[in-house]
Structure 1
Amino acid sequence: MKLKLYIILIFSMLSMGFVKAQTLSTKETKIVLVVNEKTDEVKHIELFSNFKKITQKEMLSKYPDYKFYIGILQGKYSLDQNRVILHKDATITLYTNKRYLPNEDLFPSDGLSAGDNFTLGKTTTEVISNKKGELILKTIEK
């Protein structure tokens, strides 16, 4: 009886460790950047898989005056109420021409050059590359 209990306990501890590791590190995850329509500031980042679960009507009700852009996250991150918290040295590829909703403007990345700092929510990033349709950022601060 004690043996079964120990086996279950060990299995539970191992599975919790694997689940936590999966949420903190990724080779590549699709994300959505929530951007203020008037100021073009990134409010926060959400996982694409969570974001696509809400309807367009709910989205526009929850985020009036915001636009949404698709990107890819590589590296470590954590989640806080469906919001992505980037860890240092994570890389974000923002597709400036891939809008989540088709009627939105393109992301205004023309004024950004390699080496410039750019804020994503509460995280400071550095512009690595800014090519047509693709803005690559790397986190330098959390």
Structure 2
Amino acid sequence: MKTNVFFITIFFSGLLLFAAQERSTTGMKIIVVVDAKANVISNITPLDTFQKMMVSEVHEQFPGCHFYIGSLKGNYDLTDTEVIPAENATVVMYTEREFFRSGDFLDAKTLGKGDNFRLGKVMSIVTSNKKGELCLKIEQS
């Protein structure tokens, strides 16, 4: 009997560990962090985590960056403050919805369908670019 309880405990522990490593969503709200100097997306953060931070903490952690509201659909890995989209996930960045409005920075008009774009730690491809909405599909993770 003790052996059965032990194996059942190990089995469920393994399931919990596996579930914590990769997550899936039909729509997660995110903040896309754009490095102003390098003109690249340096980080993706969950919106709820970002909202809990004080403005001074945000600017200390991400100096010289702009913050855009977006959404993520598909699989992703999650660390304390970063979302890492998995291959074939889709990120939508609302280029006209900056979280801390500081003027237009990212000129999304220059990006066309099929363009490659670095998205933090992964590469993506532009699937569409409508007014105020840049859709990116993750190519490799």
Both proteins in one fold, TM over 0.5: yes
Query: For each residue in 1:34-68, what CA deviation from the matched residue of structure 2 results, as whole angstroms up to 9, or x when unmatched?
Result: 11112321111111111111011111122221111
Specify whether residues 68 and 9 from structure 1 end up closer, same or farther in structure 2 by C-alpha distance, changes over 3 A only. same
CA contact (8 A) 1:45 1:121 kept: yes
Query: Counterpart of 1:58?
Result: 57
Whole-angstrom CA distance in 1 between matches of 2:78 and 2:66: 21
Aligned to 2:66: 67
SS at match of 1:110: helix
Structure 2 unmatched runs, 5+: none
Question: Equivalent residues in 2 for 1:118-133 (5 A)?
Answer: 118-133=117-132
Q: Secondary structure at the match of 1:39?
A: coil
> What secondary structure does 2:108 align onto?
coil
- For the residues of structure 2 that align with 1:4 and 1:89, how far apart are their CA atoms? 40
Residue in structure 1 matched with residue 41 of structure 2 by the alignment = 42
Deviation at 1:122, TM superposition (A): 1.9
Question: Cα RMSD between the aligned structures?
Answer: 2.4
Q: Which residue of 2 is the match for residue 26 of structure 1?
A: 25
Aligned twin of 1:91: 90
1:105 aligned onto 2:108: no
Deviations 1:10-37 (A, max 9, x none): 795387268538x511111011111111
- In the superposition, the TM-score normalised over structure 2's length comes to 0.85
SS in 2 for 1:52: helix
Listed as ranges, the gaps of 5+ residues in structure 1 are none
Separation (CA, whole Å) in 2 of partners of 1:36 and 1:96? 14
Aligned equivalent of 1:135? 134
Kept in 1: contact 2:36–2:105 (CA 8 A): no
Q: TM-score, normalised to structure 1's length?
A: 0.85
Mapped partners of 2:36, 2:83: distance in 1: 20
Runs of 4+ in 1 over 4 A off after TM superposition: 1-8
Q: How many residues are treated as equivalent by the alignment?
A: 141
Question: Would the aligned equivalents of 1:34 and 1:44 in 2 still touch at CA under 8 Å?
Answer: yes
